[in-house]
């Protein structure tokens, strides 16, 4: 067709805003699948206990001979990588310089970095991506993971899934953390589970404690069993 010169017209585009991120995530996903590594993307508010839970998970996984690598995202500092590295597992810090979430492009660089530092993906059974502590921003960004994990600590309030439905609706697995202090903070387990069910129907909910180790073996099993198909 010929265009009307100097006239405004509306072009139908219908293109996903995050299509580029999705393309890179798809490339990562094929790479992960080819290497036989199960990848999970952990999302929660700051202070929900992701790192503490991971520390315990790394110890128990090592005892079972399960190889785990970690990519940990934070706005600043490599404190978490140093904490997690102490357990002996391959860990790489992703400093986002203030960016409130991880994107597939940035993750690709760090997966490359992990491999060039001597940890080929093939050598791992599990790769855990600890996203930036933020319950909103990471939601829309696919990282090529097999499993999206949303974590909720017992100190945060049982209705948090209702307040942040996007995040919990996008999760494949919900993990309750710090359950060893549930009684001390009057945590209502049934209310939390029904809040999860209201926004993420049918999703499994796992109770864990980094302090007692409760649920961590189940979590490892759930991560090992995860697939996208």
Partner 1 sequence: MHEVSVAAAIVSTVREALPGRTVEAVEVVVGALSGVVPQALEFAWEVVTADTPLQGALLVVDWVPTTVYCPECEATVTPEVGFLCPRCGGLSGDLRTGRELEVRSVRVRDDQVVDV
Q: What's the rounded Cα separation, in Å, for the pair 52 and 218?
A: 16
Token readout for 74 is 């934070």
**Binding status of residue 186 toward partner 1 by CB under 8 A:** no
Q: Binding residue for partner 1 (CB under 8 A) from 9, 97, 190, 227?
A: 9
Q: Could you tell me the CA-to-CA distances from 153 to 1, 139, 158, 166, 171 in Å, in that order?
A: 59, 18, 9, 18, 15
Q: Quickly count: other Cβ atoms within 10 Å of residue 159's Cβ.
A: 14
Nearest to 178 by CA among 196, 159, 151: 151
**Binding status of residue 190 toward partner 1 by CB under 8 A:** no
* Binding region for partner 1 (CB under 8 A) out of 53-61, 63-71, 139-147, 219-227: 139-147
Under a CB-based contact definition with an 8 Å cutoff, are residues 107 and 144 in contact? Answer: yes
* Binding region for partner 1 (CB under 8 A) out of 23-31, 56-64, 99-107, 177-185: 99-107
In the shown chain, the binding pattern of residues 145 to 164 toward partner 1, with x for contact by CB under 8 A and - for none, equals ----------------xx--
Under a CB-based contact definition with an 8 Å cutoff, are residues 68 and 124 in contact? Answer: yes
**Binding status of residue 76 toward partner 1 by CB under 8 A:** no
**Binding status of residue 97 toward partner 1 by CB under 8 A:** no
* Binding region for partner 1 (CB under 8 A) out of 15-23, 55-63, 72-80, 181-189: 15-23
What residue ranges bind partner 1 (CB under 8 A)?
Answer: 1-21, 99-101, 103, 136-141, 161-162, 165-167, 169-170, 195, 197-199, 201-202
């Amino acid at each position: 067709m010929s265009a009307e010169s100097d006239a405004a017209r509306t072009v139908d585009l219908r293109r996903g805003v995050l299509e580029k991120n999705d393309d890179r995530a798809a490339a990562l996903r094929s790479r992960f699948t080819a290497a036989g590594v199960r990848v999970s993307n952990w999302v929660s508010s700051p202070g929900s206990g992701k790192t503490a839970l991971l520390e315990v998970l790394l110890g128990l996984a090592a005892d079972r001979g399960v190889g785990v690598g970690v990519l940990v995202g934070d706005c600043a500092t490599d404190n978490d990588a140093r904490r997690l590295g102490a357990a002996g597992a391959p860990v790489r810090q992703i400093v986002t310089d203030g960016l409130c979430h991880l994107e597939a492009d940035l993750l690709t660089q760090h997966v490359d970095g992990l491999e060039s530092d001597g940890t080929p993906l093939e050598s791992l059974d599990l790769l855990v991506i600890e996203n930036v502590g933020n319950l909103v921003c990471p939601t829309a960004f696919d990282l090529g993971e097999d499993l999206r994990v949303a974590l909720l600590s017992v100190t945060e309030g049982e209705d948090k899934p209702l307040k942040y439905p996007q995040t919990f609706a996008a999760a494949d697995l919900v993990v309750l953390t710090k359950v060893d202090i549930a009684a001390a903070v009057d945590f209502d387990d049934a209310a939390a589970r029904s809040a999860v069910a209201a926004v993420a129907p049918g999703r499994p909910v796992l109770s864990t404690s980094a302090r007692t180790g409760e649920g961590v073996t189940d979590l490892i099993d759930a991560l090992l069993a995860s697939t996208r198909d």
